[in-house]
Amino acid sequence: MVYAMIIIAIMTITSHPPDGMALKKRKEQFMADVQAIQTNYRGYRFRSRLEARWAVFFDALNLSFEYEKEGFILDDGTPYLPDFWLPALQLWVEIKGELTVDETEKHLYLRYWQSPEINLARRFRDSQYWPVACIMGQPGDHEVWFFGWDIGASSAGSFETDRAFWCISNNQATLNLQASPWKDFYADNLYGPIIPQFTYSRDYGYVTEPIDRALLRARQARFEHGEKPVVR
């Protein structure tokens, strides 16, 4: 039924059948429009249900956030409004449903790392002071990409990983970046200041059980008919 609606919607705006690639792009845009349900939660009006679910996740971990705190102009002039600011982690967070993959790229690894969403997160990291996390997918069925700056025994520069994951360490929710023993992370201000919370899991150990419970709360959150999600 939904696919038929897509075809009808496409045919109403064109006088001739679209080619396969055009049809695919219009279908993806149509589905994006359908799925982006604005959602009220905790005084915020989120642009999508997905963003609201991640807000529930942060609340379940008692991790304070600000939604769409401020906009930026990237170094190339592109306006950009990140989704979340997490002050306890000094981290910007962007929420995405999925990556736009370049199917023409021969190397599977580069299909993802060169996607528009990843390039945008990278450019945002390069245009301001603090690190950026890009969360792809629904809570519990997601990936976390991290873009920051690191300094080690012999080098310093940009740091990127698609293997970050949420954990509890040193009594705080944070990201485990699977950092090497000699590596630290810093804000982009000529190698400082050091941001210690991203090496807590390495230095103090970590647990993930509270993360699993928070992810479950986020997945089960109901927003219809004035329902309020249970976060604890």
Please indicate, yes or no, whether residues 87 and 5 belong to a single structural domain of this protein.
Answer: no
Q: Where are the alpha helices (DSSP H) in 61-208?
A: 108-113, 116-127, 200-204
CA–CA gap between residue 133 and residue 122 (Å, rounded): 10
Taking the C-alpha atoms of residue 171 and residue 18, their distance in angstroms, rounded to an integer, is 55
Q: State whether 22 and 118 are in the same domain.
A: no
**Model confidence band, residue 149 (pLDDT cutoffs 50, 70, 90):** very high
Same domain, 46 and 7: no
Q: Are 210 and 104 found together in one domain?
A: yes
**Range 104-132 average pLDDT:** 78
Residue 173 lies in a domain: yes
Is 124 or 156 the better-scoring residue by pLDDT? 124
User: Does 172 lie in the same domain as 123?
Assistant: yes
Asked if the structure places residue 85 within a domain, the reply is yes
In terms of domains, do 137 and 161 share one?
A: yes
pLDDT band for position 26 (50/70/90)?
very low
Higher pLDDT pick, 116 / 110: 116
Provide, rounded to the nearest whole percent, the portion of the chain with pLDDT above 70.
Answer: 73
What is the extent of the structural domain holding 115?
Answer: 39-226
Of 137, 135, 191, nearest to 159 by C-alpha is 191
Whether residue 27 is found in the same domain as residue 44: no
CA 25 to chain centre: 22
What is the number of domains present in the chain? 2
Same domain flag for 103 and 23:
no
- 137 and 43 assigned to the same domain: yes
Pairing of strands 84-86, 172-176: unpaired
CA distances from 124 to 146, 190, 196, 206 (A): 12, 17, 21, 29
> Stretch 77-95: mean pLDDT, rounded?
96
Q: Are residues 25 and 53 in the same domain?
A: no
Q: Is residue 89 part of a domain?
A: yes
